[in-house]
């Protein structure tokens, strides 16, 4: 059962990029005493063109592995932390830590170790500034031999450890391997640490503080000032994330989802904004529920189309077709089919180096009457739990796209009733997205 007196809060790199940002973070954390477990990222960019500490640490590792001195980059990292410490007026010195890290990286420590030190050092500073305990993630977040999070061991040991600390800072992004060496999640992985911590302490809420006020209903580079999504389900988020809408690391969903803990995306620079709530089950739909939750899309798809008389009664046609793709390790995205036609949509880049072999093998295996391949397609996902109860959604969608003079190349409603996928030619992509947004959200 989630504990209503515990929140886990994670702050991204831009939220902790300098002393001024640290002050905002402290105001947020200390204004609510249920914000008990804090997960920091490493200092991110302070301005366009600035360097992230994590990138500089990877650069140190790269220099060391070529036998070069790391001083020029390492000194810049130390300066970043030292200026945060002095501007916050902390009585803290990281000199010993810097020396150990310098020696380890120069002495051949791995890239994971190097990269993880960004969060580690930031965690020490933040714990000192907040007056919270520091709990090293290497002691309580565990990975298996094959470098996957060992969820159950971590959940138990981390839960037991954090029960000993009323307030604690746990650095994001890393844990340890069975041999004790440090390992990181993939880039952006502090989001996962936050989720793992929220589960271990059975938090009522996982707040993920970043530099945007939640998920937007559409890409702001295409739609001007899109609205923020107030509530989104894990399922909807998965569909939108697959199509390229990113704010949160994809793997961050699983730990909290297991325990039904909602995630609230919040903006450190605009703490009064409610942000986006990510929930397992949306509150009961009301008349104000929007028909669609979000629109996302990507370019760069190809479609292989096949036609064959009596295809529908030919046993094994689809299997043989997909086998060819599997043999070339090419995943397929969609498989719309008619009575005597079948199309496979794949990412164009997956076909690099194997396109003509695939086409040839499909001809041999499936013996189609006609086969062709066309590049330059874009996919658009229109996602919304409100679609189920709104008859006519598909008609409105297609009418809006047609009215913009755009030809829809494929439609796939899949088996979920809250996602319609359209394919259009790449040059129509932006116009189609705008037309859909205007129809369902606002002109
Ligand atoms: N600092 C790491 C990165 O830049 C992890 C994170 O910020 O979540 O990828």
Q: What is the pLDDT of residue 165?
A: 98
Q: What is the pLDDT of residue 285?
A: 64
- Angle formed by the axes of helices 71-88 and 111-130, to 10°? 10
Q: What is the pLDDT of residue 312?
A: 82
For residue 109, report the distance from its CA to the centre of ligand 1, in Å.
Answer: 19
CA-CA distance, 148 to 191, in Å (whole number)?
16
For residue 122, report the distance from its CA to the centre of ligand 1, in Å.
Answer: 12
Q: What is the pLDDT of residue 246?
A: 76
CA-CA distance, 333 to 347, in Å (whole number)?
7
Q: Whose CA is nearest to atom 8 of ligand 1?
A: 188
Tokens 């047609």 found at = 402
Q: What is the pLDDT of residue 287?
A: 59
For ligand 1, whether the C-beta of 343 sits within 6 Å is: no
For ligand 1, whether the C-beta of 13 sits within 6 Å is: yes
Average pLDDT per block of 10 residues along the chain, 443 residues long: 88 97 98 98 96 98 97 98 98 98 97 98 98 98 97 97 98 98 97 98 97 91 92 88 79 90 96 95 70 92 95 90 96 89 95 96 96 96 85 90 94 79 95 95 79
Of the candidates 161, 258, 172, the residue with the CA atom closest to the CA atom of residue 208: 172
Ligand 1 pocket test: which of 54, 183, 195 has the largest number of ligand atoms within 8 Å of its C-beta? 54
């Amino acid at each position: 059962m989630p504990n209503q007196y515990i929140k886990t809060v994670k702050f991204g790199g831009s939220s902790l990029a300098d002393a001024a940002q640290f002050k905002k973070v402290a105001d947020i954390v200390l204004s609510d005493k249920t914000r008990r477990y804090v997960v920091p990222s490493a200092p991110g960019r302070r301005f366009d063109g600035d360097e992230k500490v994590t990138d500089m640490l990877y650069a140190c590792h790269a220099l060391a592995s070529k036998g070069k001195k790391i001083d020029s980059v390492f000194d810049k990292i130390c300066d970043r932390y030292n200026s945060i410490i002095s501007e916050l007026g902390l009585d803290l010195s990281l000199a010993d830590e810097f020396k150990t890290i310098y020696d380890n990286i120069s002495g051949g420590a791995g890239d994971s170790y190097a990269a993880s030190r960004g969060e580690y050092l930031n965690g020490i500073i933040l714990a000192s500034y907040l007056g919270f305990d520091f709990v090293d993630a290497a002691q309580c977040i565990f990975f298996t031999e094959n470098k996957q999070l060992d969820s159950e061991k971590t959940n138990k040991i981390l839960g037991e450890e954090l029960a000993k600390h009323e307030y604690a800072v746990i650095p994001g992004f890393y844990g340890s391997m069975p041999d004790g060496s440090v390992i990181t999640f993939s880039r952006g992985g502090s989001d996962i640490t936050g989720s793992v911590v929220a589960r271990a302490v059975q938090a009522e809420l996982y707040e993920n503080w970043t530099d945007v006020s939640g998920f937007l209903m559409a890409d702001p580079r295409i739609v001007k000032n899109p609205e923020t999504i107030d509530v989104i389900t894990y399922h909807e988020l998965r569909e939108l994330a697959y199509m390229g809408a990113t704010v949160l690391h994809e793997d961050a969903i699983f730990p909290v989802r297991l325990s039904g803990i909602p995630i609230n995306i919040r903006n450190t620079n605009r703490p009064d904004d409610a942000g986006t709530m990510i929930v397992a089950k949306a509150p009961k739909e009301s008349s104000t529920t929007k028909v669609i939750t979000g629109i996302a899309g990507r370019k760069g798809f190809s479609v292989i189309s096949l036609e064959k008389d009596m295809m529908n009664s030919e046993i094994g046609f689809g299997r043989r077709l997909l086998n060819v793709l599997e043999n070339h390790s090419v995943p397929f995205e969609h498989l719309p089919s008619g009575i005597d036609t079948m199309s496979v949509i794949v990412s164009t880049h997956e076909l690099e180096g194997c396109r003509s072999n695939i086409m040839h093998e499909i001809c041999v295996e499936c013996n189609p009457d006609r086969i062709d391949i066309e590049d330059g397609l874009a996919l658009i996902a229109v996602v919304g739990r409100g679609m189920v109860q709104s008859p006519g959604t598909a008609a409105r969608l297609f009418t809006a796209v047609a009215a913009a003079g755009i030809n829809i190349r494929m439609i796939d409603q899949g088996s979920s009733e809250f996602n319609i996928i359209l394919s259009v030619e790449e040059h129509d992509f932006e116009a189609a997205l705008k037309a859909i947004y205007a129809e369902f959200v606002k002109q």
